[in-house]
Amino acid sequence: MLTHEERLKIYDEATELWGLVAQYDQCVEEMAEMIVAINKYKRKVLYKEYQNDDKVIKNLVEEIADVSICLEQMQHFFKDYKIDEVIEQKMQKFLKEIEEQKKK
């Protein structure tokens, strides 16, 4: 299994090879593919479409992996912007919303 540092090196090599804009474009494409995969999964579960198609779940898992890679890559590219701090702020807000909803 690759270490975090090894993955970061791969992202740097990809950027050197294809350029930063190409990496951004790839991330957009992967996120769009995940949107489609989520919608197909919802149709399978909620509306009973694709009932004989086991590829729907396999495809969603693959897209989750692709988007996870892209997110890690974007975090690496924007590491100077304290993304972890922003994530923490957003998680605190999310937790507050959950707690408020529970009170209702």
What pLDDT sits at residue 13? 98
Sign of the torsion formed by the C-alpha atoms of 62, 64, 66 and 68: negative
Which pTM does this prediction carry? Answer: 0.89
Q: What is the pLDDT of residues 21-79, one digit of tens each?
A: 999 999 999 999 999 999 999 999 888 888 878 899 999 999 999 999 999 999 999 99
Contact 11, 73 (CB under 8 A): yes
Strand, coil or helix: 104: coil
Annotated domain spans of the chain: 4-103
How does residue 6 score in pLDDT terms, banded at 50, 70 and 90?
very high
For 19, residues 6+ apart whose C-beta sits below 8 A from its C-beta are: none
Q: What is the pLDDT of residues 90-104, one digit of tens each?
A: 999 999 999 999 998
What pLDDT sits at residue 38? 97
Report d(CA 84, CA 79) in Å as an integer: 9
